[in-house]
Amino acid sequence: IAGAEGMTTATEHRVVLTQVVLHATDEHGATLPDPWPIRPCPLTAFLQPGDGVLDLGANVGQFTRDFARKVGTSGRVLAVEADPFNAMTCRLLAKDDHHVQVLSAAIADKDGMVRLYRDAKNSRRQSLWRANLTHNRDVWSWVPAVRLDTVAPAVPNLKAIKVDIQGAEAAMLAGAQETLQRTDLTWYVELWPYGLANAGSGLGEVVARFQEAGWQSIERAWQVVLSSGAQRPQGVQNVLLRHRSA
């Protein structure tokens, strides 16, 4: 595995991820296809040069790099990732983008320390709630936690927030009273009913908090989001939000 650390290969060139992935090669040195191809983030279309972006739940920075290219060197991207190994990879991949900063921390309802449960078989699956993992549920570590209202002021000209935090959306909103009052933002939020339920909240609670603060889903009605979540609780929905006054 070229450029990786703490990894092994299995038969037929499958990759077992334990820490960091930069790229994988076969025995002849040829680069293997990305096992998890990432589609462009729809939020990118709303960005302009000079904008500031918060990438909450950045993982290894798949979207971070797209945001950085779109806002240019006059903009700023702050990637926040709870898993320290993924945060390290994100830093490596963005090392030449000096307008990108990476914060290794979880987004929560208060500043402090929290337990992060890590799925050792899937580097893209971590959660503050043990029940949200499918493998090795007892692997956890203490990580720093910050409120959204703590980190948002650190991003100049903040215009967009991407959220993919594995069931912690209600906790994020509890620590985002000031940020929710901003009407000049565009949000792109992953909603996972199963993960929210394991976190002691629910899709209805998260939708209600956004609605109360004046945020609207611009691609589908909130009622459609709720109905889809009730029919497929283990499914994931991604919603784009703009304030009703925008």
Q: What is the pLDDT of residue 121?
A: 76
H or E segment to which residue 92 belongs: helix 84-93
CB 103 within 8 A of CB 80: yes
CB 43 within 8 A of CB 70: no
Kindly report which listed range (32-36, 76-80, 120-124, 150-154) carries the lowest average pLDDT score.
32-36
User: Taking Cα atoms as reference points, which of 43, 54, 55, 84 lies closest to residue 154?
Assistant: 54
Q: What is the pLDDT of residue 139?
A: 85
Structure tokens at 201: 């909240």
CB 113 within 8 A of CB 105: no
Q: Is 184 helix (H, G, I), strand (E, B) or coil?
A: coil
CB 186 within 8 A of CB 159: yes
Residue 139 gets the label, from left (phi > 0), alpha (psi -120 to 50) or beta, of beta
Can you tell me the distance from the alpha carbon of 76 to that of 157, in angstroms, rounded to the nearest whole number? 8
Q: How many angstroms separate the Cα of 207 from the Cα of each of 53, 124, 212, 227?
A: 22, 25, 9, 12
Per-residue pLDDT band for 36 (boundaries 50, 70, 90) equals: very low
Q: Residues 156-196: pLDDT tens digits?
A: 999 999 999 999 999 999 999 999 999 999 999 999 999 99
The pLDDT of residue 95 is above 60:
yes
| Amino acid type, 88 | M
The pLDDT of residue 6 is above 70:
no
Can you tell me the distance from the alpha carbon of 246 to that of 212, in angstroms, rounded to the nearest whole number? 15
The pLDDT of residue 150 is above 90:
yes
Can you tell me the distance from the alpha carbon of 145 to that of 45, in angstroms, rounded to the nearest whole number? 30
| Amino acid type, 82 | A
How far out from the chain centre does Cα 13 lie? 28
Q: What is the pLDDT of residue 17?
A: 32
The percent of residues above 90 in pLDDT, for the chain, comes to 75
Per-residue pLDDT band for 138 (boundaries 50, 70, 90) equals: confident
